[in-house]
Structure 1
Amino acid sequence: MSIYADDHAPETKAGIAVDAQDELRATFEDFKSANDERLAELERRRGDVLLEEKVDRINAALDAQQRKLDELVLRQARPQLEGRGKNAGDVAGREHKSAFEAYVRGGDAAPLRALESKAMSVGSNPDGGYLVPVELETAIGERLAVISPVRGLSAVRTISGSVYKKPFMTAGPATGWVGETDARTQTASPTLDALSFPAMELYAMPAATATLLEDSAINLDEWLASEIDQVFAEQESTAFVNGDGINKPKGFLAYPTVVNATWSWGNIGSILSGAAGGFAAQNPSDVLVDLIYALKAGYRQNASFVMNRRTQAAIRKFKDSTGVYLWQPPAQPGGRASLIGFPLADAEDMPDIAANSLSIAFGDFRRGYLIVDRQGVRVLRDPYSAKPYVLFYTTKRVGGGVQDFDAIKLLKFAAG
């Protein structure tokens, strides 16, 4: 029986169904057997079309099994909202939660307006709307980290203003070694510059029926979080990878790239695959090793690969010199697949393999990419624009960009 036919059917371990993990491993073993047979046929110069199709089918099945496992992990990892947050038990927190529920259910804004006036909230917005309770805002942020692959890997800062500025040294103070009694020359002053990360507005507009809002058994916090977290995560993920920085975060693929041998600050270094639109014909996996060691040792220890599933399907066929497959399924439910021993994150917004594409990223994203979240998620109730439905115009402000250009490297599918 499918693990999705009955939520109570699968055996669980630490709250996560293990059937999908076992199924994924079994499918990967089938894939290895079929691919080994395909490679043997190629060595005998007798390519078998049916065998190629079999390998492709099993490869697709691996992707399907990985998606099932990801969905189970996501379902388990999403935090619950009941009784959470540091303000969940205090008087002010309960008062805000009660006022927010009255506003969402019936449109009574007076209690919320009084609370925000009394608090003189820094989250005021000229478009209107009211701040969600602290525990709901925290839960939305945690859910986004679970769903969005780049957010889950990157550094995140919460700000109260509209821009976060991070200073860095373009030229440091002079240093050196001297003897105990030697004269010290005056050191040069450091030269500082700053990276700016503006927080842009991201919005969603879930709709509810009057029946849903009148049903006291429905947890409106849970409903609102579940309606907006997937939408926010999809928009964020696209921007963190490919965003142009205009009214959205700037993605790490939007920065200038240079061959890694000529890398300089402000650019992201790249390694060439050795063939236009693909891997080199001989020893195709060697370039992945080159990509790993293009990163300095201080970054490698916390580095991850980032690519989409179609690129993963291509590299799943690679082996090392001892015949061991470079791609390995997650070691346990809730874990990540690995490539050459490094964790691998699925980011569907990464480009497919094509001529001159930047389809694989490798780096320490916690040091390399910064996401800034402005405090406060706001909701504006609109019962007029789409009668008989009630719309909830929900906004949060988020920005992002590269903060360390030496911490991320890219694989460019181009001839060397």
Structure 2
Amino acid sequence: MSDYIKRLQERRANVWEQTKALLDAAEARQGDERKLTAEEEQTYQRLNADLDAIDARAKELHEAEQRTKDAEATFAGLLDKPQDTDRRDYGQDTDAQLRAFFKGETGKRVFDVQPDAAERRTDLRTLSKLTAAAGANTVQTSFYTQLVQHLIEVSGVMQTNPTTLRTATGEQIQIPKTTAHSASASLVAEAGTLSPNDPTFGQVPLDAYKYGFLLQISHELLNDTSVDLTGYLSMQAGRALGNGFGAHLVTGTGTSQPNGIVTASTLGATGGTGVVGAFTADNLIDLYYSVISPYRASGSCAWMMRDSSVAILRKIKDTTGQYIWQPALTAGTPDTVLGKPLYTDPSIPATALAAKSVLFGDFSQYFVRMVESIRFERSDDYAFNADLVTYRAIMRGDGDLVDTTGAIKYFQGNAA
């Protein structure tokens, strides 16, 4: 397997070199001939598709390896356990309790999915477990971690390491926010009066908006012991909740829904005329330096845009002729732009006139609030005539930017 992964990595590097050579050849031509011909554009799109396919394959291999390790750990734990004389006595085995609930053996309708004691002491951001080296191999997988991991995978904001607050209950909480920093100190004469020079603060209310998802499965699937029921339900519920919640974390209006990161951020750079809303290398450099140094130096400083904007980005060079997009060297880590990681989210607007199509800044200044329990409920009656078991997942959360002094800024396409 290691040889195959190495060949896959070498193939990715080769495809990227072919892409650069194609763009370099077009740029070396004069005038309008610098544009890609129809044949070259077709080749460019094929090479980009190859890169995406290789990335997808690398991700599949990483996930398969992780599933194998999780399964080995699970079987090792089962083999070490004494046989249970009562199949209905599930004790403290959460996985057994959960599967019994899914199959209707517990007689209960509601199952609150909560992190265990070890997870409660850990920031929710660690649940992404993007690479084995980052600690994935040492974390026991539970239904809660699987569900939240799938939620993070489909939400670009949740991948950027925002500050995540987990609360036991859902009442509104007030988070202090910075609206202006202290001004510079001034010269003061001997015995002179010092002028007030305080930062300005406000408050960000974080509520607990409810997101729900309904799923139906057949009794045949439910009773098939070969089916990874826990993994299947956690994946479906996690992705559904992540798609709904994640979209509002990006473009939510802040009224009866989270205040999205695009909505809450401030202008950093505007596109020039005649480029139909698209960005240039100079625009991205301007956006980069519109964010002050302390935020740029943060470990949570990153870029965010949608996939179609990344396709544009891959063609752009800086003034020295170097591509500003650089592919990741290892699977599970993001690509980089000007040395900072790049994340994608389908909810970010596409490049267009007046569109806020690129975000850059310190994403730890965006707070995501999640109420601790994710409620799972089961009904045998809802679809009784179709012999389907119905599940619903309920999650509550909110999000807002707590530093509005320019921690996160956006690029906006020209207005006309």
Question: Scaled by the length of structure 1, what TM-score is found?
Answer: 0.76
Q: Which moved more, 1:22-31 or 1:295-304?
A: 22-31
Q: Which amino acid is the alignment partner of residue 335 of structure 1?
A: T
1:342 paired residue among 340, 343, 347: 340
How many residues are aligned here?
366
Aligned pairs for 1:17-416 within 5 A? 17-43=5-31, 45=33, 48-73=37-62, 80=70, 94=92, 97-106=95-104, 108-109=106-107, 129-132=110-113, 134=115, 135-153=142-160, 154-162=162-170, 163-168=172-177, 193-255=202-264, 268-275=266-273, 277-279=276-278, 284-302=280-298, 303-367=301-365, 369-386=366-383, 387-405=386-404, 406-414=406-414
Q: Which amino acid is the alignment partner of residue 242 of structure 1?
A: T
Q: Which amino acid is the alignment partner of residue 409 of structure 1?
A: K
Q: Which amino acid is the alignment partner of residue 152 of structure 1?
A: Q
Q: Which amino acid is the alignment partner of residue 251 of structure 2?
A: N
Q: Which moved more, 1:212-221 or 1:342-351?
A: 212-221
Q: Which amino acid is the alignment partner of residue 286 of structure 1?
A: D
1:267-290 CA deviation, whole Å, 9 max, x = no partner?
61231011352347xxx3111111
Q: Which amino acid is the alignment partner of residue 166 of structure 1?
A: I
1:96 CA displacement:
5.2
| Secondary structure of residue in 1 paired with 2:315 | coil
1:137 CA displacement:
2.1
| Secondary structure of residue in 2 paired with 1:144 | helix
Q: Which moved more, 1:242-251 or 1:331-340?
A: 242-251
1:96/1:133 contact within 8 Å kept = no
Q: Which amino acid is the alignment partner of residue 354 of structure 1?
A: A
Q: Which amino acid is the alignment partner of residue 234 of structure 2?
A: A
1:30-84 CA deviation, whole Å, 9 max, x = no partner?
1111111111234584754433433343334334433444444455567948769
1:347-368 CA deviation, whole Å, 9 max, x = no partner?
122121111111111111112x
1:11 aligns with 2:11: no
1:332 CA displacement:
1.5
1:385 CA displacement:
2.0
| Secondary structure of residue in 2 paired with 1:212 | helix
Distance (Å, rounded) in 1 between the aligned partners of 2:338 and 2:360: 12
1:305/1:343 contact within 8 Å kept = yes
Distance (Å, rounded) in 2 between the aligned partners of 1:51 and 1:178: 63
2:353/2:415 contact within 8 Å kept = no
1:376 CA displacement:
0.6
1:381 CA displacement:
0.6
Change in 2 beyond 3 A, CA 1:397/1:20: farther
| Secondary structure of residue in 2 paired with 1:278 | coil
1:156/1:371 contact within 8 Å kept = yes
Distance (Å, rounded) in 2 between the aligned partners of 1:319 and 1:176: 41
1:125 match: none
Distance (Å, rounded) in 2 between the aligned partners of 1:190 and 1:66: 45
Q: Which amino acid is the alignment partner of residue 389 of structure 1?
A: L
2:103/2:222 contact within 8 Å kept = yes
2:268/2:291 contact within 8 Å kept = no
1:272/1:412 contact within 8 Å kept = yes
Distance (Å, rounded) in 2 between the aligned partners of 1:94 and 1:149: 35
2:156/2:344 contact within 8 Å kept = yes
1:311/1:353 contact within 8 Å kept = yes
1:186-210 CA deviation, whole Å, 9 max, x = no partner?
9799875321111211222222221
Distance (Å, rounded) in 2 between the aligned partners of 1:42 and 1:385: 68
Q: Taking every aligned residue pair, what percent have the same amino acid on both sides?
A: 23
1:404 CA displacement:
1.6
Q: Which amino acid is the alignment partner of residue 2 of structure 2?
A: E
| Secondary structure of residue in 2 paired with 1:211 | helix
| Secondary structure of residue in 1 paired with 2:358 | strand
Q: Which runs of 5+ in 1 are unaligned?
A: 1-9, 111-127, 256-266
2:295/2:361 contact within 8 Å kept = yes
1:373-402 CA deviation, whole Å, 9 max, x = no partner?
101111111112223110111111121121
Distance (Å, rounded) in 2 between the aligned partners of 1:312 and 1:397: 32
1:197/1:401 contact within 8 Å kept = yes
| Secondary structure of residue in 2 paired with 1:245 | coil
Q: Which moved more, 1:33-42 or 1:206-215?
A: 206-215
1:80/1:139 contact within 8 Å kept = no
1:178 CA displacement:
11
2:125 match: none
Q: Which runs of 5+ in 2 are unaligned?
A: 76-80, 82-88, 116-141
1:24/1:329 contact within 8 Å kept = no
Change in 2 beyond 3 A, CA 1:192/1:328: closer
1:211 CA displacement:
2.3
